[in-house]
Chains A and B, each alone.
Chain A
């Protein structure tokens, strides 16, 4: 859910129970076919790429369902498939909070309330919206931090993929880096954003059709849903948190009664509001997909349509983790993958399940689906990077009067350069784990307060450029201060916090993170309001038309069929999420 893959994803490989996949010719054939298609799509799209709008924005011509699947596909990187299964093993069904609380409400909000401003403002990127609404320095701050973060994130994905393949297939690390980056390079340079989105759609169906058999087989093996619940009850009791693996809310009254170490308020406000809205409503990686839609209605429907499969994904990605610990509890001979020192290596749960249940043939499909998710993550980051760099940094600051063809060229070159930087980041991550942790932390500080200025910018006319910029800085500072004053229980002072003085303690890193987000948001929100009121507005009402709620014509959906209207669709999606929360209470 965070735009950066969690570094805990990086398996240290090898260990007392290694997971190894044995591939046959058919598996390589399947994988090879996938690569051929991925490159061919880019190649075919090449001749349709005429303008910069085509390259960076897909010509603003895609149907809602394609954008919706791209929206999720871009989000569905390495961390989702592998990481969520790992969390499913570590925490049980409470992992669903990352979906039903930590994604759906924000997706509905951005579709119903925010897309009119993103799409209607003719901004070509999120930073560009900030320039139109606020000022250049706010845009530059966002563009720079986003650009760095996104290329870094691509590098981490590359590294995680290479580590994984090296571990389960003993493929050479450098070969993985070279091949994955080359393939992504070819299909983005040739086909632009459309190529990335089409491949995200492909990846989505590969994941669904590839993981569904795994879940069905696993459930059958463990004795169906009731069998799973029975084993999880036993497992959770053995772990000291009876019942916690099979209930998502029941044990959130106190941070001490669940393995996540979080209580409901921190979860709802920190994850559900600040972090979730911060990502789904402002991260250009996903917003770019919605902005590629063919009209306003399609743009608004994109996140809403995307929310539907998003709601159902826990069944695909979290269940395998829960089934794995259930099988282990059952003692059916299933071994939980472990690291060299014997501690469980949850990130290997999906490969372990694939190795257990998939014969050659389907194994090739499962592996291809995994690789597709990593590579889509990389490609998504690269397209977001080349757009922000070309429009916001290059055209915005370096060469304002660049011709259209020139911009496309810059976009292509930036893709190459961006991937090279990603490769450098991958090797850096391999070498210097600590620096990567540091960078991840810094990005956390910068991202946490972000949503506040969008909220105020879109719904409060009086918000000014100075207010937004300094509010952001204040929010970032709040996050840093909070981090310096708090520490998760059992951690040493340093990168985990407490470096000013460990004054308050949290049951887990996750809890600390959620509460840091709350403080950062409040700091930025209050700061932006106060500073805006203390400075004069830097835009006239005319300039703000289409960018702020009170100065924008309300959209009339009269021509649309009732079930396609954003408000109705949003309501149905939210209701669905509420029902799911109740079922798995």
Chain B
């Protein structure tokens, strides 16, 4: 097929990650104390999501030029 699955997937995870990170910055600490043992999981995992998304996009680029 001609659409590499890594493109839409990378884009989605990158966007999700950005949303999570932004929310992680703007939400108060209260929700993290209430739920995730005080850890700002939105920030942490948002970053992981975004990195994963970016990695997928990069991998799809390399394949194209390769």
- Interface on A for B, CB 8 Å cutoff? 26, 29-30, 33-34, 37, 40-41, 44-45, 48, 54, 58-59, 61-62, 66, 194, 197-198, 201-202, 205, 209, 213, 217, 220-221, 356-362, 365
Known: A45-B1, A48-B1, A198-B5. A359 touches B34 (CB 8 A): yes
Q: Min CB distance, A216 to chain B, in Å?
A: 9
Distance of A361 Cα from B23 Cα, bound (Å): 7
Measured CB to CB, the residues of B under 8 A from A are 1-3, 5, 8-9, 11-13, 15-16, 19-20, 23-24, 27, 31-32, 34-37, 39, 41-42, 44-46, 48-49, 52
CB-nearest residue of chain B to A61 = B1
Does B1 contact A356, Cβ atoms closer than 8 Å?
A: no
Nearest-Cβ distance from residue A43 to partner chain B, whole angstroms: 11
Q: Are A45 and B31 in contact (CB under 8 A)?
A: no
Q: Report whether over half of chain B's contact residues are helix, strand or loop; otherwise say mixed.
A: helix
- Is B1 a contact partner of A62 (Cβ separation < 8 A)? yes
Q: Would you give the shortest CB distance from B12 to chain A, in whole angstroms? A: 5
CA distance A197 to B1 in the complex (A): 12
- Binding site secondary structure of chain A: helix
> What residues of chain A lie closer than 8 Å to B16, measured between beta carbons?
30, 33, 365
Q: Residue of A at shortest CB range from B24?
A: A361
The answer to whether A48 touches B2 (Cβ under 8 A) is yes
A61 CB contacts on chain B under 8 angstroms = 1
Residue of A nearest to B53 (CB): A205
Residues of the A chain whose Cβ atoms lie less than 8 Å from the Cβ of B3: 41, 44-45, 48, 198
The reply to whether B8 and A41 contact each other, CB–CB distance below 8 Å, is yes
Query: Which chain B positions have C-beta within 8 A of A360?
Result: 23, 27, 31
Task: Tell me whether A37 and B8 are in contact (CB under 8 A).
Answer: yes
CA distance A48 to B1 in the complex (A): 7
Question: Out of A205, A213, A220, which one reaches B13, CB within 8 Å?
Answer: A205
Listed by A's residue number, 18 A-B pairs whose Cβ atoms lie within 8 Å are A30-B16, A30-B19, A41-B3, A44-B3, A45-B1, A197-B5, A202-B8, A202-B9, A205-B52, A209-B45, A217-B37, A356-B35, A357-B35, A359-B36, A359-B42, A361-B41, A361-B42, A362-B41
Known: A209-B52, A359-B31. A201 touches B5 (CB 8 A): yes
A375 to B32, CA, bound (A): 30
Q: List the 8 closest pairs (A to B, CB-CB), nearest first.
A: A361-B42, A359-B31, A359-B35, A361-B23, A198-B5, A37-B12, A26-B23, A194-B1
| Bound complex: CA A217 to CA B39 (Å) | 9
Task: Choose among A66, A194, A213 the residue that contacts B41 (Cβ–Cβ < 8 A).
Answer: A213
Beyond A45-B1, A48-B1, whether A361 also contacts B8 by CB under 8 A is no
Complex CA gap A307/B49 in Å reads 24
With beta carbons under 8 angstroms apart, the residue of A37, A198, A205, A362 that contacts B36 is: A362
A44 CB contacts on chain B under 8 angstroms: 3, 8
Further pairs besides A37-B12, A45-B3, A365-B49: 13, Cβ < 8 Å: A29-B19, A30-B16, A33-B16, A54-B1, A59-B1, A61-B1, A202-B5, A202-B8, A202-B9, A205-B9, A217-B37, A358-B35, A359-B31
Nearest CB of A to B16, in Å: 6
Query: Quick check: A358 and B41 within 8 Å, CB to CB?
Result: yes
Bound-complex Cα distance A209 to B55 (A): 14
Min CB distance, A128 to chain B, in Å? 22
Partner of B45, one of A48, A62, A198, A362: A362
- Cα A360 to Cα B44 in complex, Å, equals 14
Question: CB-CB < 8 A to B8: which residues of A?
Answer: 37, 40-41, 44, 198, 202
CB neighbours (8 Å) of B37 from chain A are 217, 220-221, 357
Cross-chain contact A26 with B41 (CB below 8 angstroms): no
Nearest chain-A residue to B20 (Cβ)?
A361
A490 to B64, CA, bound (A): 62
**Do residues A33 and B15 form an inter-chain contact, with CB atoms below 8 A?**
yes
Residue of A33, A41, A359 near B27 (CB, 8 A) is A359
How far does the Cβ of A505 sit from chain B's closest Cβ, in whole Å? 46
| Chain B residues with CB below 8 A from A361, complex form | 19-20, 23-24, 27, 41-42, 46
Nearest CB in chain B: distance from A48 CB, A? 5
Question: Is the CB–CB distance between A34 and B34 below 8 Å?
Answer: no
Contacts of B45 in A (CB 8 A): 209, 213, 362, 365
Question: How distant is the Cα of A362 from the Cα of B48 in the complex, in angstroms?
Answer: 12
Q: In the complex where A30-B16, A44-B8 touch, is A359 in contact with B41 (Cβ < 8 A)? A: yes
Residues in B with CB closer than 8 Å to A220 are 37
Q: Of residues B34, B42, B52, which shows the largest number of chain A Cβ atoms within 10 Å of its Cβ? A: B42
Min C-beta distance of A212 to chain B, whole Å? 8
Q: Chain A contacts of B36 at CB under 8 A?
A: 213, 217, 357-359, 362
CB–CB B42/A66 < 8 A: no
A356 to B23, CA, bound (A): 19
- Give the chain A neighbours of B39 by CB distance below 8 A: 217
Bound Cα distance from A538 to B13, whole angstroms? 54
